[in-house]
Chain A
Amino acid sequence: MLSIKDLHASINGKEILKGLSLEMGAGEVHAIMGPNGSGKSTLSKVLAGREEYEVTSGTVTYKGENLLDMSPEERAHQGIFMAFQYPVELPGVNNTYFMQASLNAIRKARGEPELNSLNFMKLVRTKLKALEMNEALLKRSVNTGFSGGEMKRNEILQMILLEPSLAILDETDSGLDIDALKMVSMGVNSLRSPERSMLVITHYQRLLDYIQPDYVHVLSGGRIIRSGDKSLALELEEKGYGWLQEEAAA
C-alpha cells in the first residue's frame, strides 16, 4: 500500500524528517507515537501533499505510484485521507455542502456518478446514525466555532463518507471525552478492511485499546527509532521515550 524509504523533508530550510522509512501493507493499522515536535504531523502533511514542506530526498510509493508527484487533490482522489490535528475553519461554508462537494469531486475524478443533494443527505444520515452524531453540526459552517471534540468527530464523519484506502489520523483522539473517543474508534473500526490501511498518530495508548494496531512505531528526531507490536505502546506508557532515545543515540 505505502512504502516510505529514507525520507528527508524540511520546512523553511529546517530539516524535520531525517531519513524516515516505513512499510505499510494493505489492511494494516499502524500506530505512530513519539514526543512533541518529533515530526509526526510533518509526516502526515508530507504524505497529504502540503506544498510548504520540501522533500529533499527519499521516495514514497503509494499503490505502486510515486506519491510525491501528485497534487494534494490527486492524492485525495487516489484515496488518501488525513484527519487534521487542527481542523481548519471555513466561515460561511456550509458543512453539508462542503462534504458533498468533496465526495463529488472525488467521485468525479474516479469517473463515478456524482450524488445529488437528496441522495447525499440520505447517505450522511446513515453515517451519522452509525456514529451517534448530532445532525446540528451539518447545518453549521465547516469547523467554525466547533468545540475541539466536535471538530474531531466531524473529521471522522468525513472519513467514513469518503471511505479512503489510506487514512492518516493525526491525534484524532486528543481532547476527546470518553464517549467521543469510543465514537471515533467505532468509526475507524467500521472502516477496517483488507484493502484499507490506517496510520494512527497518538500520544495515548488508551486509544490503542479501542483501535488495535498491527504495528506500533516510535518517531523521534525525524526518524522511526523503534517498531514493535501493541506491547510497545504499553511499554512506552510505563517508561516514556527517554530510554529509546538514549538507545537510538548510542
Chain B
Amino acid sequence: MDAVEQQLAELAKTGYEAGFVSNIESETVPPGLDESVIRYISARKSEPEFMLEWRLGAYQKWLQMEEPDWAHLKYTKIDYQAISYFSAPKSAADAPKSLDEVDPELLRVYEKLGIPLEEQKMLAGVAVDAVFDSVSVATTFRKQLAEAGVIFCSISEAMREHPELIKKYLGTVVPQTDNYFAALNAAVFTDGTFVYIPENTRCPMELSTYFRINERNTGQFERTLIIADKGSYVSYLEGCTAPQRDENQLHAAVVELIALEDAYIKYSTVQNWYPGDENGKGGIYNFVTKRGVCAGDRSRISWTQVETGSSITWKYPSCVLKGDDSIGEFYSVAVTRGAQQADTGTKMFHIGKNTTSTIVSKGISADRGQNAYRGLVRMNKGAENARNHTQCDSLLIGDKCGAHTFPYIEVANPTAKVEHEATTSKIGEDQLFYCRQRGLSEEDAVSMIVNGFCKEVFNELPMEFAVEARKLLAISLEGAVG
C-alpha cells in the first residue's frame, strides 16, 4: 500500500466510524457495508417493508458466499468495505460549466462518433439549460408511452408506485442468491429501470430513443426489470457508445427479463465504460448478471451486446426457455485491447418443447487483450426437439493477445440437437495490403475488416445504434495495427 492509499484507507475508516446514522442528511454514505447501510438505502428510497426484508435477506446470503474465481480473469481483489453504497446525484455546482472544461480526449471521441453538440454536453455532464429542446421531446415520449399503457420508470419509483408488480416479479429470474455479485446487487442496488408492457401492446418506440435525450445516471449497482405481457413487444437499449467515466470501479448490475406468451423482448447493450490506462489501471470492473425467462409459449428473448469498454467484463446474458416453442438468442461482440479482459458468453436453458436458441459470439482481441467465450447450452429432459446453434468466432490483431473458448453442453433429451462451430482468425497482412492497395488507409482497412467480422451481430442492433457501434469499433481499435 503506498502512502496515498494508506491515507485514503485511513480516511475511509474514520468516516465509517463517525457513522452515517448520526448524520442522516448526508448525501454520501461513508464507505463500508453492514445492515444499517441497507436500511438507510431502503429508507432513502421510501421502499415498502417487503423490499427491506428482501435486501437484508440478500445481504445475509452474500456474507456467506465467496467471490467466484473460475473466470479467465486476473484482477486485484475488490475491497467491499472501501466502497460507498449510496450517494445522491451530484449537484449542478460541481458539473463543468461548458464543454471547454471537459477532457478534450473525451470530446474528440464524441466528435468521431458524430454525437450532436447538445448531446455531447449532456454526456459530459455539463450543466445545461432547463429550457432545452429535448425536454419537450421527452414529454412527448412520456405521453406516447402512457397512452399505450407502458410503464417505464426508475426501479425506485416502481417500488413505490407498482409494488404488486415488483413483488410478483423481482428476483424471480435472478434470485437474490444467484451468485455473489447478484446477491450484493440485491442488497444495495440504488438505480435502475422498470418496464412493463401490457398485453398485446407493441411499445410505440425503441426505449433507446428515449435514453438518448435523457441523461441517465448509471449507477454502480443498477437493477433492471422488464416484463412483457402476453403478445407484447419491446426493444430496449442500454448504454451508450460514448465513453463513460465513473469513479466507481466496481459495477455489478442485474437485469431480469420476463416474456409471457407470444411476447418478444429485444435487449441491446452497448457498453463502453472506461477501460483504464494501458495497464488497465482505473478501469471499470463490470460484473453483470443478465437473465431472461421465456415464461410463455412462443415467447422470445434476444440479447445483443457490443462490449468495448471496462477493464474487466464478466457477463453471461442468459435465457431460460420454459415455454414451448420459445426462442432465445444471444449476439455478442466483445473487444479487448490494452490490458482489458473479458469473460463473457451466454447460457441457454432449454426446458420447453421445440425451444430453439441461437448464439453468435464475436471476440476481438488486440494488444494484450484477453477474450474468453464461456457458454452453456443445457437441454433438459423435457426439451423435446430442442435446437441450438452456436457460432463462436475470434479475431486476433497482433500476437500478444488471446482468445479462449469454453463451451459447455449438457443434453438430457435424445431428440435435442446442439451444433457448435468455432473459428479463430487473425487480421492478415494480406487483407490489410489488399485494402490499402485499393486506396484505403490502414485504419480504415482494420475498421472495415473488423466490422465485416461483426456483421451478423450488428445486423441485430437497432439501426441508429448499428451505425454508431461501427464507428465505436473503429475508434476502439485505433492504432491496434502497425
Contacts and interface: CB of A to CB of B under 8 A. Distances in A.
Interface in A77-119: 77, 81-82, 84, 87-94, 98, 101-103, 105-106, 109
A72 interface: yes
B454 interface: yes
A117 B219 CA distance: 42
A141 B434 CA distance: 14
A76 interface: yes
Interface stretch (B38-46, B183-191, B287-295, B439-447): B439-447
Contacts of A49: 436-437
A156 B322 CA distance: 54
Contacts of B439: 73, 76-77, 102-103, 105-106, 109, 162
B463 to A, nearest CB: 16
Interface residues of B, number: 23
A142 B434 CA distance: 11
B433 interface: yes
Most chain A CB within 10 A, of B438, B441, B444, B449, is at B438
A82 B434 CA distance: 9
B444 A92 contact: no
Contact of A93 (B430, B436, B437, B449): B449
Contacts of A209: none
B436 A72 contact: yes
A92 B438 contact: no
Give the bracket for the number of chain A residues in contact with chain B. Answer: 20 to 34
A92 B452 contact: yes
A102 B434 contact: no
Contact of A76 (B436, B442, B448): B436
A158 B433 CA distance: 15
A222 B72 CA distance: 51
B438 A93 contact: no
B441 A93 contact: no
B438 A141 contact: no
A98 B438 contact: yes
A75 B448 CA distance: 20
Nearest to A91: B452
A75 B456 CA distance: 33
Given A72-B437, A73-B436, A73-B441, A88 B452 contact: no
A92 B437 contact: no
A109 B438 CA distance: 12
B400 interface: no
A48 B454 contact: no
26 contacts: A48-B433, A49-B436, A50-B433, A72-B436, A72-B437, A73-B440, A75-B437, A76-B438, A76-B439, A82-B437, A84-B434, A87-B434, A88-B428, A88-B431, A88-B434, A90-B435, A91-B452, A92-B451, A93-B449, A93-B451, A93-B452, A101-B440, A101-B444, A102-B440, A142-B452, A158-B438
Q: Which 7 A-B pairs have the closest CB atoms?
A: A92-B452, A93-B452, A102-B438, A76-B439, A92-B455, A72-B436, A88-B434
